[in-house]
A and B are shown apart, each in its own frame.
Chain A
Amino acid sequence: MAETGRLRQAAVPAARLSPVTLLRAAIILALLAIWEFLSRSGWLYRDVVPSLLSIGRALVGLLTSPGYYFNLGVTMAEIGTALLVGGLSGLAVGILLGANRFLSKAFESYIYYLGPTPKIIFFPVMIMWFGVGPESKIALGTLSCFFPVALSVAAGMRGIDKVLIRVGNSFRASPWQMVVKIYLPAMRHPIINGIRLGLGVALIGTLLAETKLSNMGIGFLIIQAYGIFDMPRMYAMLIVLFVLAIGANALVGRLGGLDSIKRT
């Protein structure tokens, strides 16, 4: 263990000092310097650009407060439920549309064009249907997540190698066996890609709904920080949120082995 540790340490500095890394470090440092300069110059309204120190302090305060983790838990549970419900229904609809050309012709264009519309505008309706609690946020997240998963799975179904389907048919697989043994394994990449897109929009849908009307969750904390004009705290929360969102996206991609396939 100790040996490998030393070896790795010896190998890393050479890789770290590549021009790309240097440029990245330079860009980050320059941005931070400009930020700090703007913060101290007094050219902008006070606190719009808080000093790095106060953002750092707010970040530490945020990450050490138990209340934050409670709200993070609420939001993650909402997003998780939305992903589960929206993902499974999207998967089912996607398989149906992908397997049946007639159904696809009849209904897929609706899903295709409704997919990219702004889902947050359904929020007043969701409040009516599901109340002001977490349910309406879950519903909005589900609605957002359904479309990319359904479209991606439907396209994935059509892209399955015909040979695989014929193999399933010649083994007289039942429809359920076809789904579990042929369709799902063959569509791993489109499904993961759909879930990745779905996760992104479910996260946005849920959090935006929280900022609009709620009493807990990360979105609520962000809008609360806006309400009391606690800018360092707001920056800290946005930083944590962005890191989590980008990290989750990368994780889902990595799990599905998306690195090896084309980005779409």
Chain B
Amino acid sequence: MTARAASKLSGVGQFTAKTIGIGTLVTFLLVAEILIQIDIINRFIVPPPSEIIGSFYRVITQERVFSRFLFTASECLTAGVMITVFGIAGGVLMHRFKLLQQACETWVAAMASAPVVLMYPLFMVIFGRNAWTIIMIGFIAALPPVILKTIEGIAGTRKVLVNVGRSFNLSPAQQFWKILFPAALPTIFVGLRLGLIFALINIVGVEFLINYGGLGQLIEDLAERYDLPGTYAAICFVILVSVLFFMALEKAERWLRPVD
């Protein structure tokens, strides 16, 4: 969104801007490296970037990064399936029963702004210190946007399409599956994208907090061993994975919404 809004520079300008962006990052790392090497910054607080880059390989090969990644990904996937099923069903239900929507929509919106992840100690008591605590936090934190966007999508179906369905004398079920749902799908996907982002953030966060599971635990593990270059490398790795995840979701959304 923001990237597109700013894209009115010429091709050369864009290239220069991108180069300067990357150049700044590299310069920053170089300056940090020099300051650490000449002992102005304590290397036991900030390890030199060269060591961090060097420990990437070690972290990836020795810390079972791939299986951790799969673990976190499977938690995200489970939470994702759950928000898809319950979120869309909830949204459809609330759209179908207007009274329910009027009564509960503000509650769902309030839930969206509530710090759900802080309930993790409670979830640990209920589900135990295992993957279900993590998945359930991800699920509950990610549910509201899917419900809200489903309602928005169905309610925003163009009147013409609804009338087409009526003139074909479709049954309510047909009207839903053939008209309303397909028309609402792009908006629903916006909700799913938001939901998946929330799920990932909360899942990695809770993994870190309760020291269990995949990528979040990797950071906690290395930090507790006081392996500083490893901790920094792991943080960079997790950030990289999340950024790639967001980019993939964004691509998928654009693909689903070719006209906009």
Contact = CB atoms under 8 A, between A and B. Distances in A.
Contacts of B79: none
B235 A108 contact: no
Main secondary structure, interface of A, reads helix
A104 B100 CA distance: 44
B45 A128 contact: yes
A85 to B, nearest CB: 20
A23 to B, nearest CB: 4
A245 interface: yes
B219 interface: yes
A7 B149 CA distance: 40
A164 B117 CA distance: 42
Interface residues of B, number: 60
B24 A107 contact: yes
A156 B168 CA distance: 45
B178 interface: no
Chain A: interface size category: 35 or more
A40 interface: no
A211 B100 contact: no
Interface string A91-134: 00000000001111111111011101110111111001100000
A222 B121 contact: yes
A48 B125 contact: yes
Contacts of B216: 118, 121
Contacts of A180: none
B132 interface: no
A102 B119 CA distance: 43
B103 A23 contact: yes
Interface stretch (A64-72, A169-177, A230-238): A230-238
A2 to B, nearest CB: 33
A125 B232 contact: yes
Interface stretch (B53-61, B84-92, B180-188, B237-245): B237-245
B243 A106 contact: no
Given A158-B6, A208-B205, A105 B14 contact: yes
Given A108-B3, A226-B121, A23 B208 contact: no
Nearest to A151: B2
Contact of A242 (B13, B21, B102, B115): B115
A154 interface: yes
A245 B115 contact: yes
A252 B96 CA distance: 32
A71 to B, nearest CB: 14
Given A105-B17, A121-B205, A125-B231, A116 B122 contact: no
Interface stretch (B32-40, B62-70, B153-161, B196-204): B196-204
28 contacts: A20-B99, A24-B103, A102-B13, A105-B21, A107-B24, A109-B2, A113-B247, A116-B201, A116-B242, A118-B201, A118-B216, A120-B205, A121-B208, A124-B220, A128-B45, A128-B228, A129-B45, A151-B2, A154-B2, A155-B1, A158-B6, A204-B115, A222-B118, A231-B125, A241-B115, A245-B114, A245-B115, A246-B113
Given A105-B18, A200-B115, 14 more contacts: A20-B102, A27-B103, A102-B9, A105-B9, A114-B239, A120-B208, A121-B235, A121-B238, A124-B219, A155-B2, A204-B115, A234-B121, A245-B113, A249-B113
